[in-house]
Amino acid sequence: MEFKKNTVVTLDITDMGQNGEGIGKVEGYTLFVKDAVIGDRVQVKVMKAKKSYGYARLLEILSPSPDRVEPRCACARQCGGCQIQALSYESQLKFKEEKVRGCLERIGGFTRIPLQPIIGMESPYRYRNKAQFPIGTGKDGRPVAGFYAGRTHSIIPQEDCVLGVRENQAILEVILGFMEEYGIPAYREEEGSGLVRHVLIRSGFATRELMVCLVINGETLPKAQVLVDRLKDIAGMASISLNINTARTNVILGDRVEVLWGKPYIEDVLDGVRYQISPLSFYQVNPIQTRELYRKALQYAGLHGTETVWDLYCGIGTISLFLAGQAGKVYGVEIVPPAIEDARKNARLNGIENAEFFVGRAEEVLPRKYREEQISADVIVVDPPRKGCDSAVLETMLQMRPKRIVYISCDPATLARDLKILCQGRYKLQKVQPVDMFPHTVHCETICKLVRK
C-alpha cells in the first residue's frame, strides 16, 4: 500500500508519543495521530507522508479505548492547551511515568532507574493560579478571549478553562463587556494595530487575592477608571494594572507595569512561607503540587541547619526561602532582575536573613563565586528552564563537589542529558520522583536526588 497525502486508513493506536499523539502502524508504516489515545481503533487521513512514517488527522473513532474519557472541556480537542484530556487521569499518570523512564533510558543511558511512583492530584482540575488569555475579534466583530488552537495564533473562544480558577470567567466577562461598550479594539497581530493584547489573571490560593493585568499595545487605556470600578467589585480583587507591550513580538509581556488600582502584587503562602507575586514574577502555576515538589526538594536536600546551599535559576526565591529555614546559608541566582528584587522582598517579608541573591547567568555567577571568592556548596539545587543546565554550570558543579544535588526539571529529555554528565562524573542517581504539575497536558515535572560517590 502506498502512503501519501489524503490516504484514508484504519489503524489501532498502540503507543503514545512525547507530545501525547497516538501512534499506530499499518503494514509496518508508522502514523502519528493527534487526539487519539492508546487502545483506540480509528479512521484517519494522512496529512504528511515521509518515507517510513507520517502524520494523520483523526476522522472517526471506530472503537474507543477503555482508557478514553469524555473531556470536561468542550473545546479540549481544538485548544492547544490540554493535549491528553481525553485520557483517563490514571492513564495520564502512567504515560508520564513512562515518558520520564523512557528519556532516562534512551538519552541518559540509565538501566537501573530508581523511579518512584508519580505524585498525582486528588482533583486534577481548577489547579492553575495563573492564566494568560489572548484577546481578539470574533467573526461577528465582538471582542473574544480564549486560547490559541494548537500550533496556530487563531483564538478558540473560551472564558472558563476547567484548569483555571472559576473567577477567570467573571473577570473576562467584565473586560469583554467593557471593550464592546466603549469600542476598545483588540490587538490585531498581523497588522500590529488595536489595543488590548492579553489579559493576565493571577490568584493566591491561600490568600484568595486576585490580580488582573491587561497587556496593551499602547501607553494608556481609555475609560480605565470605568473598568477598575467594575473589576474591583469582584470578591478578592487586590491588584489591577496595565502592562505596556508595543513591540511586534510573540512575547506576551512587556517590561513596564503601571498599577491602576490596589497593590502592585498579590500574596500567596506555601507551607508558612509568604510570597509577593507581581505580574512579571515567575511563580509555579500549581500551588497544590508545588507544595509536594518543594517538600520533596527539602527532603532530598537533607539539611541539618549548617549547610551552604546554592539555588540556581531561583526565580522569585520560592525554593530558596523554602530551604533557608533548615540551612546555614542559601545563595540564589537568577538572570531576571525583577525576579531577584522579588526574592529579596520575599526574604524580608518572611524575616529570612540567611538568604542572599545574585542577578546574572548561573553559568557565569556560579563559577565566579566559586573560583574568585571560594564560596563552596554542601548542596546545590537546580531548577533550570526547559533547555536544561548550561555546560559551564554542570562543569562547575562537578568541581565544587557538593554532597548532594537536587535537580528539578520540566523536561525529561534535557534532564536525562544533564544527569548523564553528572553521573559520569562523581555522582550517583539515588531517587527520581515525577510530580504531575500539569494534569491533562503532556508536561511533567521531575525531581531527582544525586549523591556524591
Residue 167 annotated as binding site: no
- Concerning whether 444 is annotated as a catalytic residue, the answer is no
183: left (phi over 0), alpha (psi -120 to 50) or beta: left
Separation between Cα atoms, residue 28 and residue 51, nearest integer Å = 11
Closest CA to 114 of 366, 434, 383: 434
In DSSP terms, 103 is beta-bridged to none
- Extract the C-alpha cell encoding 338: 525583577
Residues in the chain, overall count: 453
In Å, how far are 153, 193, 248 from 189, measured between CA atoms? 9, 7, 8
Residue 35 annotated as binding site: no
Which residue in 213, 410, 423, 448 is the catalytic one? Answer: 410
Residue 418 annotated as binding site: no
Instruction: Confirm if 269 and 294 have CB atoms less than 8 A apart.
Output: no
Residue 334 annotated as binding site: yes
Closest CA to 47 of 147, 151, 146: 151
Q: Compute CA 154 distance to the chain's CA centroid, rounded to the nearest angstrom.
A: 21
Q: Look up cell 472503537; give the residue.
A: 63
* Phi–psi pair at 420, nearest 5 degrees: -60, -45
> Which residues are catalytically annotated?
410
- Known binding positions: 284, 313, 334, 383
- Known binding positions for S-adenosyl-L-methionine: 284, 313, 334, 383
